[in-house]
Amino acid sequence: MASGREIKTKIKSTQNMRKVTRALEMVSASKIRKAQDLMKASRPYARAMRKVIAHIAQANTDFSHPFLVQRENVARVAFVVVSTDRGLCGGLNSNLFRRLLPQIVEWQDKGVQVDVVAIGQKAVSFFRRLKGVNLIGSASHLGEKPKLEQLVGVIKVVLDAYAADKLDRVFLAYNDFVNTMTQKPTISALLPLPVVAAEMIATEAEPSSTPSYPVAGLKLEQKHDWDYIYEPDAATVLEHVLGRYIESVVYQGVLENLASEHAARMVAMKSASDNANKVIGELTLSYNKARQAAITQEISEIVGGAAAV
């Protein structure tokens, strides 16, 4: 059995650790409400943009924008991966990476090269160590109120590569906020738009169990051939609208991931605090037993010494 002094040192260190976990839990609890408000405020716009873009993908227009062309031979794909900048949020990032890696391996097995745009320090660190994946862009330290201007650079890298026929598919991976206890790793298509429309139709046929899934509940109905009337012209309108679509969906993914981060950290730190309380209780019991054993031994030595005299 460890000595009383060693046990007291362990109790003190565990108490200090509990102070840290409690502080982090309270900080995340205070920030999660603001993060949820930001996320919920932008969610209707992002969902509406997905619906409009899916309808545009189904229209029979004479103008062929690169984002509307689905290439048969896929040689290169890109994943925009949204993660956190800091740790101590349970398995939030690892669950997303675990969901993403099989898809990356599946594309690589087909001979397709995989590029990654990492948003968040954890994704940057992870994909820098991962062999066989090209990290073509990164953004980190977005803060508690991410701005779209912070994401424009990495988004433009993807859009320019796709417009130049250097990419054939683009996907967005992030943690979708369902509720405080549940964050769902989500991978959805960004480009080309026919793939986005097909994803929405598949979701309509088999609705997701989580109502916050990006395309859940969006109905696409096409009963006849049709097209929009563009003013001033299709090229100008689509170039602007499709750019805003990518920006809005990626920005929404960042906000969803931010709310998920605070929720996961709050739950993880509460669990850590509870475990610290349990450890402190067990160590206190061990300390009391060691102290009682030492007292008993001292009494026995005194009695034995008195008897020897």
State the catalytic residues.
89
> Cα separation of 260 and 133, whole Å?
26
Beta bridge partners, 287, equal none
Is the distance from CB of 59 to CB of 226 less than 8 angstroms? yes
> Cα separation of 269 and 21, whole Å?
5
Return all residues near 139 (Cβ < 8 A) that are at least 6 apart: 118, 119, 120, 150, 151, 153, 154
Is the distance from CB of 232 to CB of 240 less than 8 angstroms? no
Classify burial at 162, counting beta carbons within 10 Å of its beta carbon; exposed 0-12, middle 13-18, buried 19 or more.
buried
The full DSSP string for 180-195 is TTEEEEEEEEEESHHH
- Strands of 69-168, DSSP E: 76-82, 113-119, 133-139
